[in-house]
């Protein structure tokens, strides 16, 4: 982790592409989820422990702006950081690129709220909040 930003690398699988070998647009959200889960894990916060403690994180907003296309077998780097943090809501930012040629693939943002198991909005646990902090955006996210 550097300055509150984590990074994961994923290889575009054949099943994630269309007939032209281009990654289908919805898979970018899956890649965001992988990066977000890894980001929280690196901070010592796991989805499993939150759920075991009676808390769910539900995506309430997702935005993506696409740049270049990711293609079959490309290595994609997804950087993740916390853009905004409240007692009940976390906003994550993402930047996706292709390290081989530094092509900008996409920027994204997801907002998640904390829910208890009766689907009522609740507060994030103090232990989790204490491990999270807002990082400066490494790229200009226009959302």
Check pLDDT > 80 for residue 143. Answer: no
Query: Each residue of 126-141: pLDDT tens digit?
Result: 999 999 999 998 887 7
Q: How far apart are CA 45 and CA 132, in angstroms?
A: 9
Residue with tokens 């198991």: 117
* 18 counts as catalytic: yes
* Dihedral Cα 30, 37, 42, 48, nearest 10 deg: -150
Distance between CA atoms of residues 15 and 8, nearest Å: 20
| Close Cβ partners of 143 (under 8 Å, ≥ 6 residues apart) | 63, 65, 109
Torsion sign, CA atoms 25, 141, 78, 54: negative
Check: CB of residue 118 under 8 Å from CB of residue 41: no
Instruction: List phi, psi (to 5°) of 53.
Output: -85, 5
What is the phi/psi pair of residue 121, to 5°? -60, 135
Average pLDDT over residues 107-123: 97
**pLDDT the model gives residue 73:** 97
At 29, list the tokens. Answer: 């959200």
Report the distance separating Cα 98 and Cα 93, nearest Å.
Answer: 17
The one catalytic residue in 18, 61, 73, 116 is 18
> What percent of the chain has pLDDT above 70?
100
pLDDT band at residue 67 under the 50/70/90 scheme: very high
């Amino acid at each position: 982790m550097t300055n509150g930003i984590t990074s994961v690398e994923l290889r575009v699988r054949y099943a994630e592409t269309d007939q032209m070998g281009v990654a289908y647009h919805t898979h970018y959200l899956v890649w965001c989820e992988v990066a977000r889960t890894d980001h929280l894990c690196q901070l010592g916060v796991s989805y499993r422990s939150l759920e075991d403690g009676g808390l769910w994180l539900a995506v309430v907003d997702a935005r993506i702006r696409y740049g270049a296309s990711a293609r079959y077998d490309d290595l994609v780097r997804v950087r993740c950081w916390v853009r905004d943090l409240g007692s009940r809501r976390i906003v994550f930012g993402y930047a996706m690129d292709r390290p081989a040629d530094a092509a900008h693939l996409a920027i994204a943002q997801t907002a998640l709220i904390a829910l208890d198991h009766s689907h009522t909005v609740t507060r994030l646990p103090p232990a989790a909040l204490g491990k999270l902090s807002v990082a400066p955006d490494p790229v200009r996210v226009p959302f």
